[in-house]
């Protein structure tokens, strides 16, 4: 994929060239700490695991990930640099995949910096580190799913605000897909097959399974497939906008 490396390095360096990246990381670390130790009652539970830590990740990502993805293409469109990018010897696939990978890597760095929480739970007890590791993998996959959706939305508008709002709404839909009230409502008028199909798109259900240490290949395939479909759609949107 010609041009993937330069695009990736350019985008990743761009995150850390401004204070925005550091503000994002600080906010993410503070919120994970508050949700884990305060709202999650980490110490009161008397259990050596990171369930309170991972339980809040979907809701943190619901707002923080769209804040990262909203600039991916909307900023390029608004500043007019997207035309320059497309005239460089870089394939459209490389541009789309490079930008996504850079944003995903940035989110991975933020997630990696939460390692003191992992150290804390090992200091206080003897947790199942395999399950915790799977939780991190699941969290990273879920972040990739959120990012891929946000990238599609960002590619379709010049406004970062609109990209943020629409991304939050769409991601919220993926979170609610597995909620009991939603499935109960659908089951009242739709066949069971439809209910199961809607539930299968739930980020919460997929992530909950992985975060408990159960790495089901179907959950991994779901997130990878979603990312792939969104990136292909992202490329198609760029092609349509170009025309």
pLDDT tens for each residue of 3-42: 788 888 888 888 888 888 888 899 999 998 888 888 777 7
For the stretch 184-225, pLDDT in tens is 777 766 677 776 777 778 888 888 888 877 778 888 899 999
Q: Of the given ranges (102-116, 165-179, 181-195), which has the lowest mean pLDDT?
A: 181-195
Neighbours of 241 (CB within 10 A): 14
Please tell me the distance from the alpha carbon of residue 42 to that of residue 50, in angstroms, as a whole number. 8
Q: Mean pLDDT for the chain?
A: 84
Helices 217-242 and 129-155: crossing angle, nearest 10°? 20
Geometric angle at alpha carbon 58, from 98 and 179, rounded to 5°: 125
Report CA torsion sign: 148, 153, 155, 161: negative
Q: Give the C-alpha separation, 96 to 73, whole Å.
A: 9
| Whole-angstrom distance, CA of residue 50 vs CA of residue 37 | 10
């Amino acid at each position: 994929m010609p041009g993937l490396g330069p695009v990736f390095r350019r985008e990743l360096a761009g995150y850390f060239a401004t204070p925005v990246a550091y503000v994002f990381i600080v906010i993410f670390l503070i919120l994970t700490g508050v949700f884990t130790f305060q709202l999650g009652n980490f110490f009161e539970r008397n259990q050596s695991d990171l369930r309170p830590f991972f339980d809040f990740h979907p809701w943190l990502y619901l707002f923080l990930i769209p804040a990262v993805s909203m600039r991916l293409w909307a900023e390029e469109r608004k500043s007019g640099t997207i035309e320059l990018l497309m005239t460089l010897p870089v394939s459209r696939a490389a541009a789309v995949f490079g930008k996504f990978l850079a944003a995903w890597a940035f989110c991975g760095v933020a997630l990696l910096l939460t390692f003191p929480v992992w150290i804390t739970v090992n200091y206080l007890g003897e947790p199942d580190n395999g399950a915790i590791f799977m939780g991190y993998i699941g969290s990273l996959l879920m972040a990739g799913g959120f990012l891929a959706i946000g990238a599609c939305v960002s590619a379709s508008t010049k406004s970062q605000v609109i990209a943020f709002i629409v991304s939050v709404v769409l991601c919220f839909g993926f979170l609610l897909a597995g909620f009991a009230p939603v499935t109960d409502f659908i089951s009242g008028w739709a066949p069971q097959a439809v209910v199961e199909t809607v539930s299968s798109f739930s980020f919460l259900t997929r992530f909950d399974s992985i975060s408990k240490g159960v790495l089901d290949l179907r959950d991994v395939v779901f997130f990878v497939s979603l990312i792939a479909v969104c990136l292909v759609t992202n490329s198609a949107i760029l092609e349509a906008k170009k025309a």
